[in-house]
C-alpha cells in the first residue's frame, strides 16, 4: 500500500511550521500528501490562502481542502469540524494523519486535535471499503511536546522549510513564530545529534471517549 498522508492544519501556516520538513521528505519519497486547512483565514483569507498555495507548492499535494470555519471558534464547532474531517478521511483513506498535538498552546490547535481523533473514529465505523485505519501523530507549533514518540531528521530539508515559511509574509510581520519553530527544530536536532529535527507525539485512536472540551 502506498503511503497516503493527510495533514490537518487549523490555520494557514501550521502545516509548514509544524511538519514542513517532514512533508518535504515524504514528498521526495513519492508519498501522497493531502492537505486540509480548517479555518478561513479571517479578513485576510484570500491572501493567506494564496500564501499557503505558494508555501506548499513544492510538495505537489494530491489534494487540498479549505474548510470554512472561523478562527478561534474550532472549540465551539467541534462536532461540525469532526464531521468535515471525517469526510476527508473517508475520501483519502490515509495511512498516516498529522495534526497538532493535543496539548498545544493554541485553543484552535487543541480543538483540531480532538476533532481529528473523533473524525478518525467516525471514519473507522463508516465501513469505507478496505481502509484499515491510520496512525495519528501530533506536531508542535505553539508548545513543545513533553513526550516525543517520533523524531524526524529534517537536516537535509531545513532550507526548504525555511524558504516555504517565507511565503507567509502576512503571518509573521509582528510575531516571528517562524523563527521560534525553526529554533525548536534546531534544539530538537541538537539533542538528537543532527542539525534539525521535527518531533511528534503518538495520538491513540482507541481507549476512552474523547474528553469534553474544558
List the domains of the chain with CATH numbers: 4-203 (3.40.50.10320)
Residue 208: predicted pLDDT: 54
Residue 211: predicted pLDDT: 45
User: What's the whole-number average pLDDT of the chain?
Assistant: 92
Question: How far apart, in whole angstroms, are the C-alpha atoms of residue 20 and residue 86?
Answer: 23
Residue 212: predicted pLDDT: 42
Instruction: Name which of 86, 159, 73 is nearest 117 in CA terms.
Output: 86
Instruction: Name which of 123, 115, 165 is nearest 8 in CA terms.
Output: 115
Handedness of CA 139, 141, 145, 151 (dihedral sign): positive
> Contact 109/201 with Cβ under 8 angstroms?
no
Q: How many CA atoms lie within 13 A of 99 on its CB side?
A: 32
Residue 207: predicted pLDDT: 62
Residue 131: predicted pLDDT: 72
Instruction: Name which of 16, 211, 4, 210 is nearest 88 in CA terms.
Output: 4
Given a cut of 50, the residues of the chain with pLDDT beneath it are 209-214
Question: How far apart, in whole angstroms, are the C-alpha atoms of residue 196 and residue 135?
Answer: 24
Residue 210: predicted pLDDT: 47
Amino acid at each position: 500500500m502506498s503511503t497516503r498522508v493527510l495533514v490537518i492544519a487549523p490555520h494557514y501556516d501550521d502545516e509548514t511550521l509544524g511538519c514542513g520538513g517532514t512533508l518535504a521528505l515524504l514528498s521526495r519519497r513519492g508519498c501522497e500528501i493531502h492537505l486540509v486547512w480548517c479555518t478561513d483565514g479571517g479578513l485576510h483569507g484570500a491572501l493567506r490562502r494564496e500564501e499557503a498555495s505558494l508555501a506548499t507548492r513544492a510538495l505537489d499535494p494530491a489534494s487540498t481542502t479549505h474548510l470554512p470555519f472561523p478562527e478561534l471558534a474550532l472549540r465551539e464547532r467541534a462536532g461540525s469540524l469532526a464531521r468535515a474531517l471525517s469526510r476527508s478521511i473517508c475520501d483519502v483513506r490515509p495511512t498516516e494523519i498529522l495534526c497538532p498535538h493535543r496539548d498545544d498552546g493554541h485553543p484552535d490547535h487543541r480543538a483540531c486535535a480532538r476533532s481529528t481523533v473523533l473524525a478518525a473514529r467516525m471514519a473507522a465505523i463508516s465501513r469505507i471499503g478496505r481502509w484499515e485505519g491510520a496512525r495519528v501523530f501530533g506536531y508542535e507549533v505553539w508548545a513543545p511536546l513533553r513526550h516525543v514518540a517520533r523524531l524526524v531528521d529534517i537536516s537535509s530539508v531545513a532550507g526548504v522549510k525555511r524558504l516555504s515559511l517565507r511565503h507567509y509574509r502576512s503571518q509573521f510581520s509582528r510575531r516571528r513564530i517562524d523563527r521560534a519553530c525553526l529554533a525548536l527544530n534546531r534544539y530538537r536536532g541538537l539533542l538528537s545529534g543532527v542539525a534539525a529535527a521535527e518531533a511528534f507525539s503518538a495520538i491513540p485512536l482507541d481507549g476512552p471517549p474523547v474528553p469534553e472540551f474544558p
